[in-house]
Structure 1
Amino acid sequence: MYKLIIIILLSVPFNTLADTVNTDDELSTALEKIRIKNDIPSMSVAIITSGEITYIKGFGFLDKKQEKATNEESLFRIASITKLFTAQAIMQLVEKNKIELNEKVGRYLSSFKESSITIKQLLTHSSGISDTIKPVGFEKQRTVGSYLGLVKQSLPENNEGKDFEYSDTNFNVLGAIISSVSGDSYEKYIYNNILKPSNMKESGYFDSESAYFSETEPTYKGKLLDKADRRPYDLSFNPSEGLISNVHDLSRWLTLTLAGDSSLLNAQTYKDMLKPQVKTSWGEIYMGLGWQLYNHSNDIIARHPGSIRGYKSLILTYPDSKNALILLTNSSNTPRWEIAKLITNTLKQNAEW
């Protein structure tokens, strides 16, 4: 094995190795400066270049005493990045002819039989459903069924969908549809059909039997949030924000997604998910099927940020070149777009991307 490693190293031009090391060092130094400047206790970053994981690192510490360093396997609440997993699950069921995108939700959930909302409208946040129902602590024993009952009561009388309105509720309803159609709980379906094929061994959802919790505690400007101010773990919100993961696991899933790997979806389905469907209220950004899409300097960018109290995260991808970055933090004041720009500019300047 030692000889093999030496042979591999000798087969790579010295300048290439040196440039890679210099880029990594430059990037790590800059990222650490941003972390310290913004009082972010814990941060993890992964970078994918041409479909391969080329950089993965943790910054800061998991504990107040700064004895346990953050690494690529440190677990965070990834918040709304979870929606990408829910969207992939829906598209898997579309491929199996168990769901039709233009079919009304009432076909799959009896409590919505009088609604004209479609699956595609849920995926693109154009259903007209607002986030009037908030998550509650698990100790209150609210079931998914009772949550759906509250959502039904909150629907406007003439609910036929409308222009874009970002809403967690859309994806929570999609999670219930996944469970109804597959016969499994939402969490079990995602584990068997996405997490397991992606080899995401450390990732999972909070539920009544398997309690996954973030190793990183939520903060704002370096201070821990009081218990009363923290976002509750709510089973009915798992499809929109519940996945607990790390950059190591997410990078495995994302490399498969960027490659159009058949273990998750058919090649055409990946492409379909990246077609603009609905213009958002965020400038020239469009909703695909789960993904948020826009163009920049002739590049197509597909992204999804995540944000709940005390956590901010981001997945930003360039599907054509199969480049991507993953950012997880336990701070509400993380400058995600500044960090994304730093990473992108550094890699482009060093001809990495």
Structure 2
Amino acid sequence: MMLIMSKIKFRVPGIGLYVIHRAVKPALYVTLLCLSMTKMSSAQPGDVVAAIRGTIPFIDSAYRAFAVEHHSPGLAYALVYRGQLLHAGTFGYTDVEQQVPVTEKSVFRIASMTKSFVAAAILQLRDAGKLRLDDPVEQYIPAFKQQPVPTDDAPAITIRHLLTHTSGMPEDDPWGDRLLDMDAETFYGLMKEGFSFSNTPGATYEYSNTPYALLGEIIRNVTGQPFDAYIDQHILRPLGMNDTYWEYTQVPEALLAKGYRWLRGAHVRETMVGHGVYGAMGGMLTTLGDFAKYMALHQQAWPARNGADVQPLKRSSLREMQAPWVFNTLAEYNGSLTSFAYGYALRWTRDAAQVTTVGHTGGLPGFGSNWMMLPDYDIGLVCFSNITYAPAAAINTYLATEIVRRAALTPRKNPVSPVLERRKQQLLQFLPAWEHAENSTAFSVNFFQDNPIDVLRETSKTVFDAAGAIVQVREFIPENNLRGTFIIECAKRNVEVFFSLSPEPTPRIQQFSLKVID
């Protein structure tokens, strides 16, 4: 149930026309056509929360405009920062006929946003030693043996293939979106006859819903519990997600968002589908408050650190879910070439400015949703709507960018490791003349072979002659524990210094460069 649109438009007050174009299926790229722009002011460094809160009126206005543009009867949305629900907003109706307003307690079907809960359950079982991701599916579902794959050199289909949409199964949104309530007998009947495959397993990425129905059956066969019961007990309840459901008939009628389609200028009610095997790929129903708790779980996985781990899933496993396991495409996205990839039930993007997003879209007849977080900025957005296939990813993508810009947010800084700081201080002792540097233990065995001392002296003299006398040295900006840069402020210009350390037990400087910057 991946949203694929050829062109999506909506107008944002004070900004203009926002257009989404399809690039290479299934990725999207966005172009913002600014008809008018307001001047942004920089946020105070010590008041990030206040700066983010300052964007809320704009956020509310943009979501409202989006709902009107796409004829969504109702909309619910939330902003989460560092695991805290900073703002939630609602618009319109959960029930058009009865004019029931959307509230923060309204329960929406979230479609394929369900998938990451199934993936989390699989990783939880992996962490407990009950399965391995590279085990063949038939080890846990014997009926899956001898599927009619396209070529006889295909590998065995594994759990990892199912997680990453590389099983060779076809994109099946139109078919699968109407079959959430398929029972196990029917599903196993299809399996016995043999599924149709569009690709050789392991050869390429193609988004498909059936693999997640299979993952649900693996959970059942490993634990002895239906997948929904297992997820309830081991993920939802530990997170306090007590207003989350699998069967729409269990939701209090006054809280249930009904789904609609816009047809011939009017809202037409979509029939709600019950829960079944395909519920593992898109059947969950939840509230803003509950889903914010799940977003908070994913946010607190960063940065990697020492200290007690979290429940119900380890930080390392959460980061594993979010990682770009399978490349999808490279496309123009908001004026920048952007890589698109898929993790374990989470979509990953990174643009040329190194801004990373993680999240997932959900779409069913009657509903459209998306959640998205920027791990390096600690912000996340979620949007639920009750109109068929509403392009919620479009508005979330746009607003995430705008929040960063308007609140003047900067990426989370990596801590400077002690060895980096120590090597920095040692390096400064030798700049710019490099006197007696060859005798220092700060450098790895290759360093002076790659950088002859006379060349180092000549290069440094040229750089510092252009920059002038050293005035002060700024703090280190690490890329990781073993590499990074710092700036030396000089009388005329500044000098950027880069170095990286070797993988030895005692890391030493293996690579070095410096350049004059403005």
TM-score range, shorter chain: 0.7 to 0.9
Say yes or no: does 1:147 pair with 2:172. Answer: no
Structure 1 residue 130 displacement after superposition: 2.5
Structure 1 pair 137–21 and aligned structure 2 pair: CA distance change class (3 A) = closer
Partner Cα distance (1:92, 1:64) in 2 = 40
Among 147, 162, 176, the residue aligned to 2:217:
176
Give the residue type in structure 1 aligned to 2:235: I
Structure 1 residue 128 displacement after superposition: 0.9
Structure 1 residue 55 displacement after superposition: 1.1
| Structure 2, unaligned runs of 5 or more | 1-46, 148-155, 302-308, 332-338, 410-518
Partner Cα distance (2:132, 2:364) in 1 = 31
Tell me the alpha carbon deviations over residues 27-83 of structure 1, each in whole angstroms, 9 at most, x when there is no partner: 212322222232111101011123321111111112325742211221111000000
Among 253, 277, 280, the residue aligned to 2:325:
277
Structure 1 residue 182 displacement after superposition: 0.9
> Is the CA contact 2:246–2:284 (under 8 Å) kept in the aligned structure 1?
yes
| Structure 1, unaligned runs of 5 or more | 1-14
Corresponding residue number in structure 2 for 1:190: 231
Give the residue type in structure 1 aligned to 2:62: A
Corresponding residue number in structure 1 for 2:347: 292
Partner Cα distance (2:250, 2:144) in 1 = 29
For the residue of structure 1 that corresponds to 2:65, the secondary structure is: helix
Partner Cα distance (1:121, 1:92) in 2 = 17
The structure richer in helix per residue is 1
> Is the CA contact 1:111–1:149 (under 8 Å) kept in the aligned structure 2?
no
Structure 1 pair 103–341 and aligned structure 2 pair: CA distance change class (3 A) = closer
The structure with higher relative contact order (CA 8 Å, sep 6+) is 1
For the residue of structure 1 that corresponds to 2:94, the secondary structure is: coil
When normalised by structure 2's length, the TM-score is 0.59
Among 363, 368, 371, the residue aligned to 1:315:
371
Corresponding residue number in structure 1 for 2:114: 82
Partner Cα distance (1:18, 1:165) in 2 = 42
Give the residue type in structure 1 aligned to 2:218: I
Tell me the alpha carbon deviations over residues 161-209 of structure 1, each in whole angstroms, 9 at most, x when there is no partner: 43111111010000000111011111110100111011111101028x9
Partner Cα distance (1:252, 1:236) in 2 = 26
Structure 1 residue 16 displacement after superposition: 8.2
Structure 1 pair 323–155 and aligned structure 2 pair: CA distance change class (3 A) = same
Corresponding residue number in structure 1 for 2:510: none
Give the residue type in structure 1 aligned to 2:226: S
> Is the CA contact 2:373–2:380 (under 8 Å) kept in the aligned structure 1?
yes
Return 107-116 or 242-251, whichever deviates more.
107-116
Q: Which entry has the higher C-alpha Rg, 1 or 2?
A: 2
Structure 1 pair 251–99 and aligned structure 2 pair: CA distance change class (3 A) = same
Aligned residues: 335
For the residue of structure 2 that corresponds to 1:313, the secondary structure is: strand
Corresponding residue number in structure 2 for 1:3: none
Say yes or no: does 1:117 pair with 2:157. Answer: yes
Matches within 5 A, 1:1-353: 22-64=54-96, 67-114=99-146, 116-130=156-170, 134=176, 135-136=178-179, 138=181, 142-155=182-195, 160-206=201-247, 215-221=256-262, 223-225=266-268, 230=271, 232-260=273-301, 262-280=310-328, 283=331, 284-296=339-351, 297-332=353-388, 334-351=390-407, 353=409
State, as a whole percentage, how many aligned pairs show the same letter. Answer: 25
Return 147-156 or 191-200, whichever deviates more.
147-156
Aligned-residue Cα RMSD (Å) equals 2.9
Give the residue type in structure 2 aligned to 1:266: K
When normalised by structure 1's length, the TM-score is 0.85
Give the residue type in structure 2 aligned to 1:299: V
Return 119-128 or 47-56, whichever deviates more.
47-56
Give the residue type in structure 2 aligned to 1:270: L
Partner Cα distance (2:243, 2:70) in 1 = 28
> Is the CA contact 1:206–1:233 (under 8 Å) kept in the aligned structure 2?
yes
> Is the CA contact 1:49–1:352 (under 8 Å) kept in the aligned structure 2?
no
For the residue of structure 2 that corresponds to 1:216, the secondary structure is: coil
Partner Cα distance (1:340, 1:28) in 2 = 12
> Is the CA contact 2:80–2:87 (under 8 Å) kept in the aligned structure 1?
yes
Structure 1 residue 234 displacement after superposition: 4.1
Return 19-28 or 272-281, whichever deviates more.
19-28
Return 289-298 or 93-102, whichever deviates more.
289-298
Structure 1 residue 232 displacement after superposition: 2.7
The structure richer in strand per residue is 2
Partner Cα distance (1:149, 1:136) in 2 = 14
For the residue of structure 2 that corresponds to 1:61, the secondary structure is: strand
> Is the CA contact 1:205–1:212 (under 8 Å) kept in the aligned structure 2?
no
Structure 1 pair 71–352 and aligned structure 2 pair: CA distance change class (3 A) = farther
> Is the CA contact 1:32–1:59 (under 8 Å) kept in the aligned structure 2?
yes
